Amino acid sequence: VLSSPPLLTSTKRSSAASPLSRRLCFLGSPVDVYDAVTGDISPWWDHHFTATPKKLYIEPRPGGGFYEIFNDAGEGALHATVIYAERGKRLRYTGPLPFSGKVVDFAVTYDLDPDPGGTRFHLTVNAAGQLPDGVEKIVDSVWHHMLVEQLKPYLESPEYKKRKGPR
């Protein structure tokens, strides 16, 4: 009797990373900040699969996507799916993000509240699945980069003010 090899083999145990939480204050109202972290995010989001994506955007509606479109043919990647969207208050999406092709799921939440200085922004990131060792440090470093080194300067830039337009 011939036996067949197992359909699935495991070389690494799935795991969960410790939750990441970051709190920051940004200039602008919660609606302004929400609008900057949804729609076209290419001015400040610099982690992508291609060197120069054609489009990089988040559709702020339940079932909407966090897409990276590579070219005019529409080829690209779905990094995550929006599962909660309330303009000016909360955005939540889940997906593999940079670990496409692995059994990994990130749940990312942006909570926004008014603050005398603009907007209190609370990021929460939870991850589970086939995660590499040391993923907590990597995730913390990436989100520090995205929020402190990319988004915050963008929200304070003339480019953002020009894109936002007069109110």
Mean pLDDT of all residues belonging to the chain:
89
Residues 6+ apart with CB under 8 A from 54: 69, 70, 71, 72, 76
- Chain segment 80-123, per-residue pLDDT in tens: 999 999 999 999 999 988 888 888 899 999 999 999 999 999 99
Q: Taking the model in full, what pTM does it have?
A: 0.87
Taking alpha carbons only, the member of 105, 84, 100, 96 closest to residue 38 is 84
Q: Is the pLDDT of residue 2 over 70?
A: no
**Cα(84)–Cα(90) distance, integer angstroms:** 7
With beta carbons less than 8 A apart as the criterion, state whether 101 and 48 touch. no
